Structure 1
Amino acid sequence: MRRLLIIGCGDVVRRVLPQLVRRWRIYALVREWDPALRALGVVQIVGDLDRGASLTRLVGLAQAVLHSAPPGEDTSDDARTRRLIAVLRQASLPRRLVYISTSGVYGDCAGDRVFETRRLAPRTARARRRVAAEAQLRRFGRESGCAVSILRAPGIYAADRLPLERLRRGLPLLLPEEDIYTNHIHAEDLGRACVAALECGAFAGGRAYNAVDDSDITMGDWFGKLADAFALPHPPRVSRAEAERVLPPVQLSFMRESRRLDNTRLKRELRLRLRYPTVDSGIAAALEDKAPHPPAPAPRARVTGDRYAHGIVAVPFSGRPSEGD
């Protein structure tokens, strides 16, 4: 079976692990032991991208890499990705590598439609580190022949990742005439995009994809839909000058950039059919998740002779023993 190395086993990746384990032998770099990963058959390797010496067991390990670890915050580039590439170069090279980046690499586009060929103009330190990571990975792909796919993700949401607390706090939004365009992707669809890129990505030297749904909405539209769906008050609207005065810096950073990402390449080249093509479908699914469901009936024992079969099957873990994490 093909071997896949996962760097960064967060929420998005975990959503598609059941799908991945059917196609790949999975190894994951982790800082701490996680019984849930072992239960899925994932071989865990203890290591830390901030400590290069801890990564030696990754040398020559896998034929493909899924890299979703964020950059550190202590440098202007992405030292974590640099250390990972150094390890990957030491033995047989992976044939494919998928990296989850951010749409923040484009910077402010004044509401323009944005294609992957647009010049990158990051405005924040975190986005500049992502640009550095992309450049390192593209260079690695050119020099090694590894097919590198870069998924530029915008705001990731799911039933348990909705900004409802922001609505409850009543934080203001910009006036409609000053509002910005926002972009969204359901966490499950982003995970499925990773799977598609692992199977279909074929561009040595790197190929970027806007990992975004089909929605074309402003920030006010987004929060208005959430407020209506969850019976919460609509946020107040203020001028940009007033927002600069009353909002915290992190919130302001998202309101200073406006763009509309085009996902044609994602759907055409990776043959991805979105499960949640708009935020409306994602919000509807979130409401369904939160709706009370009747309890499932208790299983009835099946009598076989004088024994009761309860359908409990123990499946032994047959993977390579993991070391501590």
Structure 2
Amino acid sequence: MKALVLGHGYSAGFLTPRLVAQGWQVTGTTRDAPDRVAASGATPLLWPGQGDQVRAQIAKADAILVCAAPAAQGDPVLADFAADLARATPRWLGYLSTTGVYGDHAGAWVDETTPLTPSTRRGRERVAAETAWQRLAADHDLPLHIFRLAGIYGPGRGPFAKVREGTARRIVKPGQVFSRIHAEDIAQVLLASINAPDPGAVYNVCDDDPAPPEDVIALAAELLGAPLPPAEDFATAQMTPMARSFYAESKRVRNGRIKERLGVRLIHPDYRSGLRAMMAEQPL
């Protein structure tokens, strides 16, 4: 069995070892980090750079996972490989999107049936990319699955480094909550879907406990035995436009579908479990 990951980055680094353990041969594209891709167990290909080899892998892949993010000009995978994908015959095709497609719901719950009303540029680009992939799948009978990921964290990607460096900030915006997902849980959701394809399915990938961002920083400081960063009022805090944009949307994301349809039992059902595991695995 052959798997191709287009844009083999952080999340794919947790999926690849699971696939290899099941006997899959994994190839992953990267712009500039072939050693990192190889370390996860995948064969690296440079993209851009080795487009013909990527096309050859598309033609023979049993599973294709698209992790590359869209840009203002559209989806880069479709820009380079739409014709090749249209001729491909995978039994599973996955696209990693984001819960940002739902937009702002003032802290209310959303699920996969909620209308897509993004309020940020990034969210609008994701909606456009989802639509383009769904169109390609419909036109060429491709077994597309869409995964809307919440905020990703895990080893090497979390609040600990900033807390230790003294740069962490507890920005407080009343009513603000974010949903999150540990990278190991992303990997198990994807593997469960690969093992039980359901073409056309859309899944929210998040944990059970949407929480205010300042609570996550507070727990990280507690676990490290570091001083609690002072609370800062969002309304008056000095922030870059990019940083401020992350607070433009507040919602609680339901994850029932990954449990009911894929039988997933989350390894880290909340950020408390995830952060404590990160500390236990590699004390920071």
Q: Report deviation, 1:79.
A: 3.8
Please tell me the residue identity of whatever aligns with 2:150.
P
1:276 aligns with 2:268: yes
Alignment of 1:310-325 (within 5 A): none
1:29 aligns with 2:32: no
C-alpha separation in 2, matches of 1:60 and 1:195: 21
2:167 to 169, 174, 177: 169
Q: Report deviation, 1:40.
A: 6.3
User: Which residue number in structure 2 is paired with residue 47 of structure 1?
Assistant: 47
User: Which residue number in structure 1 is paired with residue 3 of structure 2?
Assistant: 4
User: 1:151 is paired with a residue of what secondary structure?
Assistant: strand
CA offsets, 1:32-73, max 9 Å, x none?
A: 573564566634333329x9777543451212201111223x
User: Which residue number in structure 2 is paired with residue 221 of structure 1?
Assistant: 215
1:116 to 105, 112, 115: 112
CA offsets, 1:103-128, max 9 Å, x none?
A: 11111110011111111111222221
1:20 aligns with 2:14: no
2:201 to 197, 207, 212: 207
Please tell me the residue identity of whatever aligns with 2:231.
R
Q: Report deviation, 1:258.
A: 0.6
CA offsets, 1:272-323, max 9 Å, x none?
A: 111111111111111212349xxxxxxxxxxxxxxxxxxxxxxxxxxxxxxx
Q: Percent identity?
A: 31
C-alpha separation in 1, matches of 2:159 and 2:230: 15
Q: Report deviation, 1:82.
A: 4.0
2:132 to 130, 136, 157: 136
Q: Is the 8 A contact 1:171 1:235 kept in 2?
A: yes
What's the TM-score once normalised by structure 2's chain length? 0.88
C-alpha separation in 2, matches of 1:179 and 1:235: 20
Taking only aligned residues, the RMSD between alpha carbons, in angstroms, comes to 2.5
Q: Is the 8 A contact 1:99 1:150 kept in 2?
A: yes
Call closer, same or farther: CA 1:248–1:9 in 2, change over 3 Å: same
User: Which residue number in structure 2 is paired with residue 67 of structure 1?
Assistant: 66
User: 2:236 is paired with a residue of what secondary structure?
Assistant: helix
CA offsets, 1:110-169, max 9 Å, x none?
A: 001111111111122222111111111112222222221111111111132112344422
2:277 to 262, 269, 285: 285
User: 1:241 is paired with a residue of what secondary structure?
Assistant: coil
User: 1:169 is paired with a residue of what secondary structure?
Assistant: coil
What's the TM-score once normalised by structure 1's chain length? 0.78
Call closer, same or farther: CA 1:123–1:166 in 2, change over 3 Å: farther
CA offsets, 1:230-287, max 9 Å, x none?
A: 22333333434213xx112222111121100000001111221111111111111112
1:84 aligns with 2:81: yes
Instruction: For structure 2, list consecutive stretches of 5 or more residues without a partner in the other structure.
Output: none
CA offsets, 1:186-214, max 9 Å, x none?
A: 111112212112122312xx322110011
User: Which residue number in structure 1 is paired with residue 142 of structure 2?
Assistant: 146
User: Which residue number in structure 2 is paired with residue 257 of structure 1?
Assistant: 249
Q: Is the 8 A contact 1:82 1:136 kept in 2?
A: no
User: 1:133 is paired with a residue of what secondary structure?
Assistant: helix
Greater shift in the superposed pair: 131-140 or 35-44? 35-44
Greater shift in the superposed pair: 79-88 or 190-199? 79-88
User: 2:124 is paired with a residue of what secondary structure?
Assistant: helix
Greater Rg by CA = 1
User: 2:145 is paired with a residue of what secondary structure?
Assistant: strand
Call closer, same or farther: CA 1:183–1:56 in 2, change over 3 Å: same
Greater shift in the superposed pair: 38-47 or 180-189? 38-47
Call closer, same or farther: CA 1:151–1:86 in 2, change over 3 Å: same
CA offsets, 1:159-181, max 9 Å, x none?
A: 32112344422534125xx1401
User: 1:181 is paired with a residue of what secondary structure?
Assistant: coil
Call closer, same or farther: CA 1:7–1:216 in 2, change over 3 Å: same
Call closer, same or farther: CA 1:36–1:283 in 2, change over 3 Å: closer
Q: How many residues matched?
A: 281
Alignment of 1:159-198 (within 5 A): 159-167=155-163, 168-175=166-173, 178-198=174-194
Instruction: For structure 1, list consecutive stretches of 5 or more residues without a partner in the other structure.
Output: 293-325
Please tell me the residue identity of whatever aligns with 1:217.
A
